[in-house]
Structure 1
Amino acid sequence: MRGFAVPGLIPRLRDLGARPGLRDLALALVLKVGGSGLAFAMLTLAARAMGLHEFGVFAYWFSALSFAAVAVLLGQEAAIMIDWQRALDAGGPAAARAGLRRSARVVLLSGLVGGAVTACAGHLAGAGWLFSALAGTFSVLLAALVYGTHVARTIAGIARGDGQFELTWRLFPTAGAALALLASVPFHAETFFAWAVGGILVALGIQAAGIGAALRGASAGMAPVKAALDPLPVWAARSARLWLGGVLDAANQYVDVFLIGLLLSPVEAGLYYAAARLAALFAIVSAGLHVFSSREIARHAADPAGPGMRAALRLVGGATALAVGGGVLVIFVGGQWLLDLFGQAFHAAYPPLVILTVGVAAIALGGPVPAVMRLTGHEAAYARIAGYFVLARCACVAAAALAGGLIGATLASALCSLACAVTLNAVCRRRVGIDPSVLGLIGGAGRARETLP
């Protein structure tokens, strides 16, 4: 039996490797795993170089600046993925490039204004001008990198986009923290942001070169076509809905650390941030799958319940289930050891780590619901539901933090995340007509079903 099985297996593996979808999927996974591993090394080295209190200060500011970077994008990171494909279908490369220019101008202007406001807000909050300037610059450049990653992923491929976001910029603060540890010199939050600014500048340069090459290749030999863009009111309304959804996603990701640092102390913020980063580690594979699926969702957005969309989502279902199961086991068995990498002072983060791991596992099994709804024309419904849960999350986390400290805030955060994921999945099934959850896709529940307007 073995002699006959092996010759037949090799051609099958070759056929699988030749499928573009699987190659892109594998690349997205490799980049996400590598980037998450590098991010973990960056944070553990920074925690050891800073100490718990300083790391808490860094976590507080990093969360606030990451949220600001998403806010100033005005939804263009998601809008360009939709507009590029629509413009290509309607008017060819000329129309697509015109849409890209309009989107890029918006990001540039809003980013500069947002960076200046962030710097002034940091100074008013008590930070020095050097730290405030670095914070404002970091938020502007991070926004540009997020936008450039979505553009490059859509136009030039996953490697030229996500490779710079996941790997390149993180190498710099990682190296800075390692050098500080080796030389026994101080490493503060502003030092981290200085190294990060340098890394993002390098990543943006590489991204821009890749996008430029892809644009020149797409336009070569094409006859000029009049660039027909969506009317400004239509484009602005869609962008506003996408922006609101992106801001709500960012709030769900970063608001906890901000509130805990504000209401408790930098120490609790540092412990929670370490636990949250570790809890998210097992979702690395599912996050990489979502990078792949977001591009496929945008491609099949015109027929969300069709076979193309269902095939793309079903491709990620089994791998997500395996990743979640294996990751939960790793966290429960080796969680204390992983916390040791941050330092002995982070042992107190183990109970929050266990609580957050359960919550993140449930969310990961729900599948890429935000991307499905935002990229298939249901961004308003998504923003409305997510908005209610963000407000509820803020209120619950704040009340629980004041009443029960770090553990209370962690429980409130996990329960709110779980409730939001279950609600969004139910609405996605009803409105879009497909169940993107792992259980639904594996069990065949991802088949098209009647949708509501």
Structure 2
Amino acid sequence: MIASVLQMFRRDVTRGVAGTILLKVGSGGLAFALFSLAARAMTPDAFGDFATLLSIAQIASVVGLAGQELLLVRFLNEYEVRGQAEFTKGVLLSSLRNSAIGMLISIAAIAAVATLRGEWWLLILSVSAFTAVNAGLMLGSQIARSLVSILMGEGNREFFWRVAVVLILIAVLFSHRQLTPAELFTAMSVAMALGLVVQIVSIVRVLPNLRSVTARFETSRWNRSAFRFWLASILEAANQYFDVILVYWMLDPATAGVYFAASRLANIFAMLSAALYTFGARRLPSLYFSKNHRELEHTLKLMAEVTALCVLSGLVIVWVGAPYLLGLFGPHFAAQQWVLIVLAIGTAFQAAGGPSAAVLQLTGHERDYVPVVAANVALRLLGFVVLIPWLGVLGAAISATASLVIATIALNVLCRRRTGVDPSVLVLSHLSSSKGSAYTVRVADSND
């Protein structure tokens, strides 16, 4: 068995997936350190306020980008394979313009609502700055990932800036003072802005050949795809962040902070899904559009092998260490270990489902993806309304897990029907019982 695992990690694709997962796990570890230190540097209510405002800012970033970050992943790969530099320049210019306009509207809305609520001006300014810089990193990481490297894209978006913030939080704890949400948002915004500058410089350096190219535009085609990507992004953001807002509203700030901590820990498996999406977004579209069926199948199989290994080991860690992991946020967090375990089961199931969302969205089937995510959000909200009054924060965790399981199954069924591939870990059982290929890739015309 050990020999088989070593052989698996000698493969180029496996090393690529493993490297991306390590980057995600590293950034997730830093995020865990950041949030656990922040929880200890704030009062329970202040941390709950921070978690809720962070969730609102993340959703606002997605809304303001108007689907442009996914649009770039979709079309930069297609135009690169086809050698259409003029359309590459056109989609870059179009996306930058649309996202800038959208973010201005989104930030203005946040500032207006916060002002009406009588929030402190420094808190409004810091949350607005975080929203803008976060959106810039989201957009820049997609461009850098496609044109430079995964490290430049994801490293600056999720890893490097968190190191600086963690060091600041350690200094705050050693000084025995309490931090306010406004101060933490300010520190995060400054660190992220530095990462964005590095990202922009790296992108500009690989684009000199576009300066002499006359931009061409497929505006109607891009707008149709961007709208579907926008809806999908909003629904995905609601899945990730709206839970905390609802717990804050239906229960109290301190409980919202507990749910936030548990959900971030459960994201050990969501990080795996994100890593698979990151790797798949860079590799799968080019294989798909170049109709390299054999390599596409091979890549998906190796991704499933790494996924299965990570999911099994991660579940063991969470099951055994749940109270200890939550205890790092503070003593009152440790009592909610079952919230973490239930959430982890849902995110583990989602990770085992593989990059079905990436395959559907990046191969022109995004219109099939949106209804599933919408149903997922609706089911989760219904579960919150029914279960939170009965079971409290545990009811929120049960609702989130149930909706994830159902959505994962639906996405995998759609992925097999539309593209002919099984991206989940189940493909390994198919391969072990069959000498031939487990599936045949069906390349469909793009349905933009």
Q: CA 1:250 to 1:442, structure 2 compared with 1: closer, same or farther past 3 Å?
A: farther
Cross-structure match for 1:340? 327
Residue 311 of structure 1: which of 298, 319, 341 is its match? 298
Please tell me whether residue 34 in structure 1 is matched to residue 41 in structure 2: no
Q: CA deviation at 1:219?
A: 5.1
Q: Secondary structure at the match of 1:280?
A: helix
Q: Deviations over 1:321-380 (max 9, x none)?
A: 111110110111111111111111112221101111111111111011111111111111
Match of 1:70 in 2: 62
Q: How does 1:2-17 map to 2 (within 5 A)?
A: 16=10
Alpha-carbon distance in structure 2 between the residues aligned to 1:398 and 1:303: 47
1:354 corresponding residue in structure 2: 341
Per-residue CA shift, 1:254-308, capped at 9, x if unaligned? 1211111111111111111111111122554443233111211222343679223
Separation in 2, partners of 1:416, 1:284: 18
Q: Distance in 1 between matches of 2:326 and 2:102?
A: 38
Label 1:169 to 1:116 Cα distance change in 2 as closer, same or farther (>3 A).
farther
Structure 1 counterpart of 2:207: 215
Q: In structure 2, do the counterparts of structure 1 residues 345 and 86 end up closer, same or farther at CA, with 3 Å as the change threshold?
A: same
The residue number in structure 2 matching 1:398 is: 385
Report the CA distance between 1:96 and its aligned residue. Answer: 1.3
Alpha-carbon distance between aligned partners in 2 of 1:451 and 1:397, rounded to the nearest angstrom: 40
Q: Percent identity?
A: 32
- Deviation, 1:208, is 0.6
Equivalent runs, 1:408-427 vs 2, <5 Å: 408-427=395-414
Q: Higher mean Cα deviation, 277-286 or 104-113?
A: 277-286
Name the aligned partner's letter for residue 74 of structure 1. Answer: A
Between stretches 234-243 and 94-103, larger displacement belongs to 94-103
Unmatched tracts of structure 2, length 5 or more: 432-436
Residue 61 of structure 1: how far off its partner (Å): 1.1
In structure 1, the residue matched to 2:154 is 162
Equivalent position amino acid for 2:337 in 1: Y
CA distance in 1, matches of 2:184, 2:177: 13
Match of 1:407 in 2: 394
Kept after mapping to 1: 8 A contact 2:85/2:210: yes
| 1:188 counterpart residue number | 180
Contact 1:87 1:229 in 2 (8 A): no
Distance in 1 of aligned mates of 2:195 and 2:359: 28
Matched, 1:273 2:260: yes
TM-score (norm 2): 0.91
Q: Distance in 2 between matches of 1:305 and 1:253?
A: 34
Residue of structure 2 aligned with 1:368, choices 355, 375, 379: 355
Written as runs of structure 1 = structure 2, the 5 A alignment for 1:121-270 is: 121-216=113-208, 226-230=214-218, 232-270=219-257
Contact 2:273 2:350 in 1 (8 A): no
Distance 1:431 1:207 in 2: 35
Count how many residue pairs are aligned between Structure 1 and Structure 2.
437
- Greater mean alpha carbon deviation, residues 171-180 or residues 196-205: 171-180
Superposed CA offset, 1:84-117 (max 9, x none): 2333345533431222111111112211221121
CA gap 1:405/1:197 in 2 versus in 1, 3 angstroms: same
In 2, are the aligned partners of 1:88 and 1:95 still within 8 Å (CA)? no
Give the whole-Å Cα distance in 2 for the aligned partners of 1:331 and 1:146: 29
- Residue in structure 2 matched with residue 3 of structure 1 by the alignment: none
Question: For residues 319 and 236 of structure 1, do their structure 2 counterparts lie closer, same or farther at Cα, with a shift above 3 Å needed?
Answer: same
* 1:28 CA drift (Å): 1.5
Residues 200-241 of structure 1 show CA distances to partners (whole Å, capped at 9, x for unaligned) of 11000100111011112x559xxx5553332x2221111101
The 1-side partners of 2:261 and 2:342 are apart by 13
How far apart in 1 are the matches of 2:262 and 2:149?
33
What is the rounded CA distance, in whole Å, between the counterparts of 2:255 and 2:333 in structure 1? 10
Match of 1:262, as an amino acid?
W
Does residue 320 of structure 1 match 2:307?
A: yes
Partners of 1:261 and 1:341 lie apart in 2 by 21
**Is the 8 Å Cα contact of residues 78 and 289 (structure 2) preserved in structure 1?**
no
* Counterpart residue identity of residue 400, structure 2: S
Aligned-partner residue type, residue 190 of structure 2: G
Contact 2:61-2:132 within 8 A present in 1 as well: yes
In structure 1, what is the equivalent of residue 415 of structure 2?
A: 428
Contact 2:43-2:178 within 8 A present in 1 as well: no
Question: Please, which moves more after superposition, 278-287 or 75-84?
Answer: 278-287
Q: Contact 1:74/1:243 (CA < 8 Å) preserved in 2? A: yes
* Equivalent of residue 366 in structure 2, options 376, 379, 396: 379
Match of 2:434 in 1: none
CA RMSD of superposed structures (Å): 2.5
Contact 1:260–1:398, Cα closer than 8 Å, also in 2: no
* 1:67–1:247 CA contact under 8 A, matched in 2: yes
Q: Which residue of 1 aligns with 2:289?
A: 302
List alignment gaps of at least 5 residues for structure 1: 1-5
CA distance in 1, matches of 2:430, 2:263: 30
Q: CA deviation at 1:402?
A: 2.3
